[in-house]
Structure 1
Amino acid sequence: MGRLFGTDGIRGIANESLSPECALRVSGAAAQILSGSHSSPAGEQRALAVVGRDPRASGEMLEAAVTAGLTAAGVDVLLVGVLPTPAVAYLTEMYDACMGVMISASHNPMPDNGIKIFAAGGHKLDDSVEDRIEALVARDTPWRPTGARIGRVRGASNAHNGSVIPGRYGLAHSHERYVEHVIAATGQDLSGLTVVVDCAHGAAAEVAPVAYRAAGATVIALNAEPNGLNINDGCGSTHVDQVRSAVVEHGADLGLAHDGDADRCLAVAADGSLVDGDRIMAILAIAMHEAGELADATLVATVMSNLGLHIAMRAAGITVRTTSVGDRYVLEELRRGGFTLGGEQSGHLVLPRYGTTGDGILTGLRLMARMAGTGRSLADLAAVMETVPQVLVNVPVSDKSLVAQAPEVREAVLEAERILADSGRILLRPSGTEELVRVMVEATDPVQARQLADVLAKRVASV
């Protein structure tokens, strides 16, 4: 069996590489390790796991398998239904659960699905914990309690002593708690702003429009009718043409585009221009720096962030710490340094004061709060950063692990770096989920960036 965990949990085609049997075994192993239930004495109170999902049809099947695996390992399960990934992480902490599970493949197409596991407090798993889970799955010798020690299952409406609590926003109790949480973290009345929000027919479909309206904004919702099959289908943060057109058509102040599990957010200015994660980070970093909320005047970003972000932050007196690609590495650096803002060009932004993982809805709220608080348009705020031309080529390869070690590739990179000198940079990165190598070249001269990227891509493809 190959490694199960990738850069963002386990992901694959549902009912093929990600089967119900796999989901059951992984969740059972995770429960044993994260709850300690395999050594719990009889009569001890059972641990709790929070389980949520996005609207994919296969999520229903995998939710059942995950629930079976958790309860078979002696862990109680709170099913919170369709909710964004950051909401599941937040509820894991709020309910003092030993772990949380989000069933989602994020921005991937519908046939795919995934399993993201959170430890107590809603934190993503360390590599060492993932290794222990994989080792236990491979041994296939699960601990199985009996009788009263088998876990029990309850729904989100019964989160408090079995009673149904009417929600202020007409949502299930756990959904309400998340909406209240992100509104409280906004810090600004958004009245007067009109926003188009593309929910990607995903986990944001119910809670995102409610949260934005509750904060005071006028909301025009797109792609907010999930049917289990249409998630990310030509919409959301990977297909922004719809939201760009709608912003211009409705004369809205901005647009926001979420992915399938709503842990990322891209924005669109009133003129239809795209504001990516780098520009959003620049806007929020400066806002937090001015408010004294940016710890050590430091922003955490990945190696994929544009050189323009580094230039803009340097001009604002802000240091940029760089990590490997993946929000887990951003999170690790945020926790290690006690920093208060980090993120990725793709729109994953993390504000550790308010959450333990990327939160697209919170990002949208904080971005609008900056607009409302300054009275400035999104285009004006985003102009703080000038994007350096960047070319990204995805090169299919037979073995991505061999590429970085190939002498001919190293020589080509060194030669390209010599040509660029201080006017750009080069990054070669194996994909975390596919047999691809991503070749990125940034240069102040876009023609030069394209030429060098093509040369490097051909060299990589020849390995």
Structure 2
Amino acid sequence: MRRHFGTDGVRGTVNQSPMTAEFALALGRAAGHVLTRHLGHKPHILIGKDTRLSGYMIESALCAGLTAQGMNVLLVGPVPTPAVAYLTRSLRADAGVMLSASHNPAGDNGIKFFAADGFKLPDDVELEIEACLDALPPLPPALEVGKASRIDDARGRYIEFLKASLPKGLRLDGLKVVVDCANGAAYDVGPRILEEMGCDVIPMHARPDGYNINRECGSTYPEHMVHRVIESGADIGLALDGDADRLIACDGRGQIVDGDRVIAILAEHANNHGQLSGGAVVTTLMSNMGLERYLAGMGLKMFRAAVGDRYVLEMMRDKGCNIGGEQSGHMILLDHNTTGDGLMTALQLLTAMAEQQKPLSELASDMALFPQKLWNIVMPERKDVMADERVQSLVREAEAKLDGDGRINVRMSGTEPKLRIMVEAADEEMMLGVGESLTEAIRELVC
């Protein structure tokens, strides 16, 4: 039973349990002990962070715990989450840590571990670290503590890695690009990589101050990107979240291109070049039925995983797929990186535009999406709502009304105390009516 680690590491409000300096110190000691025991030598661990003010506090406490337990620490400063996954591999570290709460507000933070191969730490190791928190190990002798050092060129290394993923000789000259950095981890590398590829770049929200990460900007507020694209006559808009592992785009007309459409574009482009592994992509239970039908029209399969990039990745590796992602904009391109990478996705999207000589509005324009909406119910406490037979009965009744021409998905958020209810149907009026009545009925039962 997990007490601290969720689907995306440990996350919470700063200075409230568990996201306190004391917990980060203890977690550092527990992780240091477990990882050292598994490796059999004095390990090196890399720590990156986004631009939250609390990153300094959590980084210092975690670093103290790790070095106290005998680990050497490499500090790379503010970088995107996918940069930590890459740098952990590139610098031959034994593990990596990213301090971020992704798209959450500045008052939250999180701690996410990566293994040496750049993939997330296995579940059994996370559970072992949790168990170790209950009884911290003895400290090593005074002269066996670890040391911490800073890596000054981490962002430059990541930019070169991004460029190396593109076709040889490709340039993006002439493309006008709006990039909303969410005042987060990509505030520097986002505009820089696009400029180095030849784009005319219009940066937005690229001045972090520790407090403004995700504040009415980035992938959760794409309307600002849309407005700037239309105002400036840009070819494309790119909106990242606070740790730059997700991307929401818009075309030159200001139409949103969400994760489902991005998957369709990248899968078709890869398939046409003989680069789509497994003849399929992996999405989640939230992905639109329109995407499934569009891919089927090309003879491609779509596998649905549980919501969360952890589960998408597991299924991708199981099915032998190299493209997967979530409607929310988390894209995993396994030919290039081991985790969701917003900037990598953006570059691959721009590559498809450049190589096909088509604007974004034309790519996957034949894909018709079903009307879909997500309702949220704030819960007084986290609990397994779907175990309640009364809730199951309400969902079955709602599904019967759709008569096989739509879908319903009800689940607890993996990161927030919210129940999420997704309804999609071929008919928008039917979708809204079923969704609103189901949400109200469940709210009366559980709140």
Query: Does TM-score exceed 0.5, indicating one fold?
Result: yes
1:401, CA displacement in angstroms? Answer: 2.8
1:2, CA displacement in angstroms? Answer: 7.3
2:22 maps to a residue whose letter is E
In 1, distance between residues paired with 2:382 and 2:144? 46
Residue 183 of structure 1: aligned partner: 163
Residue 50 (str. 1) matches residue 46 (str. 2): yes
1:402, CA displacement in angstroms? Answer: 4.2
Residue 311 of structure 1: aligned partner: 293
Gaps of 5+ in 2: none
Work out whether residues 35 and 98 of structure 1, in 8 Å CA contact, stay in contact via their aligned partners in 2. no
In 2, distance between residues paired with 1:267 and 1:330? 21
Residue 240 of structure 1: aligned partner: 222
In 1, distance between residues paired with 2:126 and 2:442? 31
Work out whether residues 394 and 442 of structure 2, in 8 Å CA contact, stay in contact via their aligned partners in 1. no
Residue 275 of structure 2: aligned partner: 293
1:5, CA displacement in angstroms? Answer: 0.9
- Within 5 Å, give how 1:213-252 maps onto structure 2: 213-252=195-234
- Within 5 Å, give how 1:262-341 maps onto structure 2: 262-341=244-323
Provide Cα deviations, 1:347-404, integer angstroms capped at 9, x if missing partner: 1001112111000000000000000011101011141321100121112334553421
Residue 190 of structure 2: aligned partner: 208
Aligned length: 442
In 2, distance between residues paired with 1:115 and 1:399? 22
Provide Cα deviations, 1:142-171, integer angstroms capped at 9, x if missing partner: 2422244211111113xxxxxxxxxxxxxx
1:35, CA displacement in angstroms? Answer: 3.2
SS in 2 for 1:77: strand
SS in 1 for 2:387: coil
- Within 5 Å, give how 1:185-200 maps onto structure 2: 185-187=165-167, 188-200=170-182
1:313, CA displacement in angstroms? Answer: 0.9
Q: Determine which of 82, 85, 88 is the counterpart of 1:86.
A: 82
Work out whether residues 255 and 268 of structure 1, in 8 Å CA contact, stay in contact via their aligned partners in 2. yes
The TM-score, its normalising length taken from structure 1, stands at 0.93
Work out whether residues 32 and 143 of structure 1, in 8 Å CA contact, stay in contact via their aligned partners in 2. no
Q: Structure 1 residues 143, 86: CA separation in 2 closer, same or farther (over 3 Å shift)?
A: farther
The TM-score, its normalising length taken from structure 2, stands at 0.96
2:284 maps to a residue whose letter is T
In 2, distance between residues paired with 1:400 and 1:26? 23
Residue 424 of structure 2: aligned partner: 442
SS in 2 for 1:380: coil
In 2, distance between residues paired with 1:421 and 1:127? 39
Work out whether residues 104 and 114 of structure 1, in 8 Å CA contact, stay in contact via their aligned partners in 2. yes
Residue 153 of structure 1: aligned partner: 148
In 2, distance between residues paired with 1:402 and 1:126? 24
Gaps of 5+ in 1: 158-172
Q: Structure 1 residues 342, 143: CA separation in 2 closer, same or farther (over 3 Å shift)?
A: farther
In 1, distance between residues paired with 2:368 and 2:34? 47
Identity %: 45
1:437, CA displacement in angstroms? Answer: 1.3
Work out whether residues 69 and 140 of structure 2, in 8 Å CA contact, stay in contact via their aligned partners in 1. yes
1:80, CA displacement in angstroms? Answer: 0.3
Higher mean displacement: 419-428 or 398-407: 398-407
Q: Determine which of 94, 97, 116 is the counterpart of 2:112.
A: 116
Residue 6 of structure 1: aligned partner: 6
- Please, what is the CA RMSD of the aligned residues? 1.5
In 2, distance between residues paired with 1:95 and 1:218? 32
In 1, distance between residues paired with 2:240 and 2:34? 33
Work out whether residues 2 and 127 of structure 2, in 8 Å CA contact, stay in contact via their aligned partners in 1. no
Work out whether residues 424 and 444 of structure 1, in 8 Å CA contact, stay in contact via their aligned partners in 2. yes
In 1, distance between residues paired with 2:195 and 2:7? 34
In 1, distance between residues paired with 2:6 and 2:398? 30
Q: Structure 1 residues 2, 36: CA separation in 2 closer, same or farther (over 3 Å shift)?
A: closer
Residue 23 of structure 1: aligned partner: 24
Provide Cα deviations, 1:117-153, integer angstroms capped at 9, x if missing partner: 11111111222222111111122x2242224421111
Provide Cα deviations, 1:210-235, integer angstroms capped at 9, x if missing partner: 11111221211111011111111110
1:406, CA displacement in angstroms? Answer: 2.0
Residue 144 of structure 1: aligned partner: 139
